[in-house]
Amino acid sequence: RQRQAIIAIDGPAGAGKSTVARQVANQLGLVYLDTGAMYRAITWLVLKNGIVLDDECAIAEDARCAIAELAHQCKIELTPSPNLQSPVGVWINDTDVTQEIRTIEVTSKVSAIAAQSEVRKALVKQQQSWGKRGGLVAEGRDIGTHVFPDAEVKIFLTASVGERARRRLQDFRKQGQPEVTLEQLEQDIAERDLKDSTRKVSPLKKAADAVEVQTDGLNASEVAAQIVDYYQKRLLPSHQKNND
Ligand code: CDP
Ligand code: CDP
């Protein structure tokens, strides 16, 4: 094998991908790659540049070109999170946007930006170059289907919309943002699920060879333990023979 193993984790918003991926990476000594943070960073840059997205379903041609250019020319850097509870540090064109990319404004626009094929081309190329030597846990929507189709371990994390919205609500409350409502979060999550799974380029979908983990009623550590266990079983020498 030319490279170290890759674990691909895909699934809808709030399924626990980031939290679980960070724990798995930490336990196995692998690098954690949050691809959603990259789409969020581009979205932040698009909004910062005043590019208007009035009709999300049919972004005007000139805006489309401007977005493509930003995506191909920007420099994105991810820095490891300081602890298991914090998200990764995100820099775009030397600006720290770690906090800014998590706002409701960015969250509500990110799926429209992520549906642009040029944006995906630019980011997938970057992800694949970071992953060339393997040794990572990559998390997103198209990791097992498109970015790393030869990943040794593919996980599709799911949970009901209600459960995912409740998790997000808790996150917002912990961050001292009590004004966000459960209904708002359910709506945002359902809208993004629909956009992400129906778009033309690399829609959110379970890879044929992914293992689906339904996480309602499980905490993040329990889910991480299942994935570590599965990884270890798959990568034992006796199992490897069948896969090589
Ligand atoms: O954490 P959360 O599930 O809210 O979202 P995220 O993982 O930060 O991803 C934000 C958005 O980026 C998603 O809703 C997708 O529209 C897009 N995305 C994508 O298209 N492909 C990826 N590999 C990762 C994220
Ligand atoms: O990355 P994604 O949008 O899939 O979800 P996340 O941001 O990692 O998780 C959202 C919240 O759900 C976090 O506060 C987690 O601690 C919590 N949670 C989880 O991730 N997994 C569970 N099985 C249960 C709760």
- pLDDT recorded at residue 237: 67
Q: For residue 240, report the distance from its CA to the centre of ligand 1, in Å.
A: 31
* Residue 12 in this model has a pLDDT that exceeds 70: yes
CA 229 – ligand 1 centroid, Å: 26
What does the pLDDT read at residue 97? Answer: 98
For the chain, domain boundaries? 6-238
Q: pLDDT for 64-120, tens place per residue?
A: 999 999 999 999 999 998 898 889 999 999 999 999 999 989 998 999 999 999 999
Is residue 202 lining ligand 2, measured as CB closer than 6 Å?
no
Question: ipTM score of the complex?
Answer: 0.97
> Does the C-beta of 220 come closer than 6 Å to ligand 2?
yes
Nearest C-alpha to atom 2 of ligand 1 is from which residue? 13
Report residue 55 CA to chain centroid gap: 24
**205 C-beta neighbours (distance < 10 Å), count:** 16
Q: pLDDT, tens digit, for every residue of 115-129?
A: 999 999 999 999 999
Q: Please tell me the predicted confidence (pLDDT) of residue 46.
A: 97
Is the pLDDT score of 56 beyond 70?
no
Instruction: Tell me the mean pLDDT in the region 7-29.
Output: 97
Q: Verify whether ligand 1 is closer than 6 Å to residue 32 (CB atom).
A: no
Which band of pLDDT confidence, cut at 50, 70 and 90, is reported for residue 176?
confident
pLDDT tens-digit series, residues 188-243: 999 999 999 999 999 999 999 999 999 999 999 999 999 999 999 998 765 555 55
Cβ of 42 below 6 Å from ligand 1: no
Check pLDDT > 70 for residue 55.
no
Nearest residue (CA) to ligand 1, atom 15: 111
Task: Assign a CATH topology to domain 6-238.
Answer: Rossmann fold (3.40.50)
Q: Does residue 141's CB lie within 6 angstroms of at least one atom of ligand 1?
A: yes
How close is the Cα of 141 to the center of ligand 2, in Å? 15
Question: 10 in ligand 1 pocket by Cβ < 6 Å?
Answer: no
- In this predicted structure, what is the pLDDT of residue 239? 53
The CA distance from 201 to 89, in Å, is 27
